[in-house]
Amino acid sequence: MSTPPSTDDRFVQPRNASPNAKLDPDRLRSPSTSTRVSFDRASRIHNATPDPSVESDDPEKVILESFYPRLFVLASPDTEELVRLKGIYGGLAGLLRPFGERIQGNVVTRDSSGLSKSLAPFGIHFLPFHRLESPSVDSGPQRTPSMSWTNDDLMQSTIDISTSRLQEQSSVMEGVLKNQLAMPSKKPETTVNPQQPLSLPYYTFYLRRLLGGRQLIPYEPYTHPVACLIAISSQSSAPLESLRDLYDSTRQGSRDLPAWLSNEFLRYYILVHDEDHDDINRSTALFDQMKRHFGLHCHMLRLRSTQCGPETQDSVELPQVSWLSATEEAADIDRRMLNSGIDEFKQYLFNSDAVSLRTFVREMVTQSIIPFMEGRINAWNEQVASRRRGISGRFMSLSKRFTFGSGRGSKGGSSTNSNTNYNATLGAYMPDSAEAIMHRLADYAVMLGDWKLASSTYEMLRSDFTDDKSWRHSAFANEMAAITTIKYAHTNASSLKPDIIDQMLDSATYSYLSRCQDPASAVRCLLFSAELYKSHGRIGIKEATKWSDRLLELSILSPLAQSLFTSRIALFFSISPTSGSLQFGSCTRKAALWNLLATELWLLQAQNPACAKESLSQAKSFYTLSNKNNSGTPPFTSMEGKWDQLHQELASMEYSSAAAAAAVEDVNDTQDELDEVREELHDPGETSRKGHQHRLSMAFQSAQGDARDMLQRLNDPSTQEDDGFT
């Protein structure tokens, strides 16, 4: 069976722009309107940058959002056609995706102790069902259903995923920031608030793109489906048969699902009723039949199939999707570059459709998804985890560790011990094994915020995985054990033991880098830990800066990511709590030093004068606080040279950016004049057509010469020396 094309395959990949690319005077050789389009691309890419009013700028909230349950959408062809007629890209999954990112109102759940708690905010990630059919990225050979994924395949797939993830997010982020400089009127103003730096929206943007592209992997069960949405439309000629066929395809045979993927997920059935063309009475009768055949996990979604636009009455814009992979973001930027207006990419639907979609998502989550997950947690906890915590379970764990330990370690890392459930050929545990069930239990607990249960379960799993030498599972279990322990310490401060957490993070990082060759997961591990540590007072700040510095020392970050993380370390030091009138525990000098380092990176690597100026301003303010003379300069004379150099480089870059923006504005103004002349040439009331043609030619030649002079000045460093900027 052929694999449906992935979302990222449907677009042309974006051009790779060099960080040192210069404006090309050859673009000005034609008086056509393409000149304006080439310069307007910067503004369209600028609109793809994160909007703080729409997306959360709290990195900890972004991290928790990455653990939202995943729901895969499998729709019949007639349903996908109905959504296509509405003008919505991405099918039914693309229509539902923005409405699942934030559920309206509070979502209440019960933890393993029976206590109720509110999950606010809460959401789910909608994904197309074909994303389940292969654990690899789009690159690589296609496999038929008869071909199984071996351990070597999984290793190479993991390396490819990690490498492409780091390269993609770096390329996208650098492109967005570079084009931000071309829009001086839209650049955010420099502030002096250390907790809301200019780099924060880009940092959360980086987090979302790094975490948004996580593929289906056996050792990360929270990337597996919690539920599958099976949808048909009211236009189906055999609706019940279509539902049965779709249901069968989620279980066996017709689709190439990995053997290690558990099919113990909720099936939710939906009937999409066409309000414009179908009879509501017939759809209601069909919906009653669905409930009798498939139970109460059903919903009738009433939508209009008519396409609407911005001028259509009662139309609303489809919300923007925050959780995109780096490749999807790159494809979106490329689409914006290839067209002349940002409004062409906005999708609209009727307000009644938006209300129906929000109601449907909330009803499905509160009445089906949450109760299903709670039931699975209770069942797995009582039937599997409780036995593992008992005396017999501990005895079996000890017997695996000592009695049979010498039987492992054969060539290729495969296991020769029959006492383990680890399948070295597939590089995974089978879904019905105790380890796989407990792994899903721990991940479900994380999704519902039961940090105590998750922490204790991961603690058991990490020792089991280490005994089985399943290093990918062991690395992930150590990572999640550290994360859940840090989160649980918010309600139980005595559980925060940095020494034990350090062992978990060291083990996870070593396994990711040395045994799994997965640097992207190592970045995620240390990033999560630092951000979650940050809210634990002085001890937490100390640990957050330590692990962030460790991440920089590993040299696995892109230049732009280094700038972001250096600014982040400066922020950690700046918010370190103090005590007493003497401000004991203050880290202002450390914050100032890291801001200086961030300034240099923003200038030399990221080439972002706005963030560099803010970091330099922060350094000056912190040195003012730490010095008695309030001069705002470094306390050591040996640093004065570096201080002056950064000021000069910042002034030079600001000048170049302003000059480039002025050149673009002049060219666009001249283009407007040329357009006016063209209109006059087509006016029969005008006289001397030949004179107008001469005027057109002279105006364009003048603009061409001015633009060349300006661009030559920008590209020639010697011209800047005359102005005293170097």
Q: CB count, 10 Å around CB of 338?
A: 13
Both tokens assigned to 35: 């000149």
φ/ψ (deg, to 5) at 219:
-90, 10
Rounded CA separation 426/148 (Å): 8
Distance CA 327, CA 214 (A): 11
Separation CA 599–CA 608 (nearest Å): 9
* Residue 183 binned pLDDT confidence (cut-offs 50, 70, 90): very low
Output the pLDDT for position 214.
78
Cα(first)–Cα(last) distance of the chain, in Å? 63
Q: Can you tell me the distance from the alpha carbon of 216 to that of 448, in angstroms, rounded to the nearest whole number?
A: 20
Q: What pLDDT sits at residue 272?
A: 95
Query: What does the DSSP 8-state code read for residue 719?
Result: H
| Window from 234-238, 288-292, 593-597, 637-641 with minimum mean pLDDT | 637-641
Task: Indicate the DSSP class of residue 123.
Answer: -
Please give the residue that has the higher pLDDT: either 703 or 687. Answer: 703
Rounded Cα distance between 173 and 180, Å, is 11
Q: Strands 422-423 and 428-429, how do they pair? A: antiparallel
Q: Check residues 591 and 608 and name the one with the higher pLDDT.
A: 591
Closest residue by Cα to residue 559 from 604, 594, 499:
604
Range with lowest mean pLDDT among 178-192, 283-297, 611-625: 178-192
Rounded CA gap, 105 and 118, in Å? 10
What pLDDT score does 494 carry? Answer: 80
Find where tokens 């055949």 sit.
Answer: 293
pLDDT of residue 425: 85
* Pair 683, 723: CB distance under 8 Å: no
Nearest to 645 by CA among 630, 661, 634: 634
Question: Which has the minimum average pLDDT: 51-65, 70-84, 479-493, 591-605?
Answer: 51-65
| Gap between the Cα atoms of 87 and 488, Å rounded | 45
Please give the pLDDT value at position 406: 42
Question: CB neighbours of 129 closer than 8 A, spacing ≥ 6?
Answer: 72, 73, 74, 93, 228, 250
| pLDDT tens, residue by residue, 715-725 | 565 554 444 44
Element (H or E) spanning 291, and its range? helix 280-294
**What is the crossing angle of helices 200-212 and 326-337, to 10°?**
110
Kindly report which listed range (47-56, 361-370, 545-554) carries the lowest average pLDDT score.
Answer: 47-56
Given a cut of 70, is residue 459 above it in pLDDT? yes
Torsion of CA 656, 660, 665, 666, to 10 degrees: 90
What is the largest distance, in Å, between two alpha-carbon atoms of the chain? 102
Q: What is the pLDDT of residue 440?
A: 95
pLDDT above 90 coverage of the chain, percent: 33
Res. 362 pLDDT band, cuts 50 70 90 = very high
Across-strand partners of 269? 230, 298
Name beta bridge partners: 109: 117
pLDDT of the residue at 80: 94
Confidence of residue 421 (pLDDT cuts 50, 70, 90): confident
**Residue 633 to residue 620: CA distance in whole angstroms:** 6
- Would you state the pLDDT for residue 124? 94
How many Å apart are CA 256 and CA 253, to the nearest integer? Answer: 7
Measured between alpha carbons, how far is 605 from 616 in angstroms, rounded to an integer? 16
Alpha-helix residue ranges (DSSP H) falling in 534-639: 537-553, 559-574, 588-601, 609-626
Bigger pLDDT: 39 vs 377? 377
Per DSSP (E only), the strands in 47-95 are 70-75
Residue 301 in this model has a pLDDT that exceeds 90: yes
Q: What is the pLDDT of residue 465?
A: 93
Q: At 311, is the pLDDT very low, low, confident or very high (cuts 50, 70, 90)?
A: confident
Q: SS3 of 594, please?
A: helix
3-state secondary structure at position 204: helix
Q: Find the angle CA(57)-CA(63)-CA(64) to the nearest 5 degrees.
A: 105
* Every domain of the chain and the residues it spans: 45-135+222-388, 660-722
Q: How far apart are CA 498 and CA 474, in angstroms?
A: 20
* Half-sphere exposure at residue 23, Cβ-oriented, CA atoms within 13 angstroms: 29
Most confident by average pLDDT, 216-220, 498-502, 614-618, 657-661: 498-502
The kind and range of the H/E element at 41 are helix 34-46
Instruction: Give the residue, 313 or 440, on which the prediction is more confident.
Output: 440
Query: Rounded CA gap, 445 and 67, in Å?
Result: 10
Residue type, 629: N
More confident site: 712 or 340: 712
Is the predicted pLDDT of residue 227 greater than 80, yes or no? yes
HEC secondary structure over 438-491: HHHHHHHHHHCCCHHHHHHHHHHHHHHHHHHCCHHHHHHHHHHHHHHHHHHCCC
Residue 413's Cα: distance from chain center in Å?
A: 33
335 or 609, which is more confident: 609
pLDDT of residue 703: 61
- How far apart CA 683 and CA 580 sit, in angstroms, is 79
pLDDT of residue 520: 87
Q: For residues 506 and 311, which has the higher predicted lDDT (pLDDT)? A: 506
The β-bridge partners of 348 are 317
State the Cα–Cα distance between residues 569 and 721, nearest whole angstrom.
35
pLDDT confidence of residue 631: 61
- Mean of pLDDT values over 544-567: 91
Give 238-284 pLDDT, tens digit per residue: 888 999 889 888 875 556 788 888 888 999 999 999 998 888 999 99
pLDDT tier at 692, thresholds 50, 70, 90: low
In the predicted structure, residue 477 carries a pLDDT above the cut 90: yes
Which residue type, as a one-letter code, is found at position 315? S
pLDDT tens profile 123-177: 999 999 988 865 443 333 333 333 344 444 444 444 444 445 555 555 555 555 4
Question: What strands lie across the sheet with 227-233, from one edge to the other?
Answer: 125-128, 70-75, 227-233, 266-274, 298-303
Per-residue pLDDT, averaged over 289-303, amounts to: 92
Pair type for strands 227-233 and 70-75 = parallel
Which one is predicted more confidently, 679 or 83?
83
Long-range (24+ apart) CB contacts under 8 A made by 491-500 are: 491/451, 491/452, 492/452, 495/455, 496/536, 496/539, 496/540, 498/539, 498/543
Angle among Cα 23, 617, 54 to the nearest 5 degrees reads: 70
Residue of 246, 6, 234 lying closest to 128 (CA atoms): 6
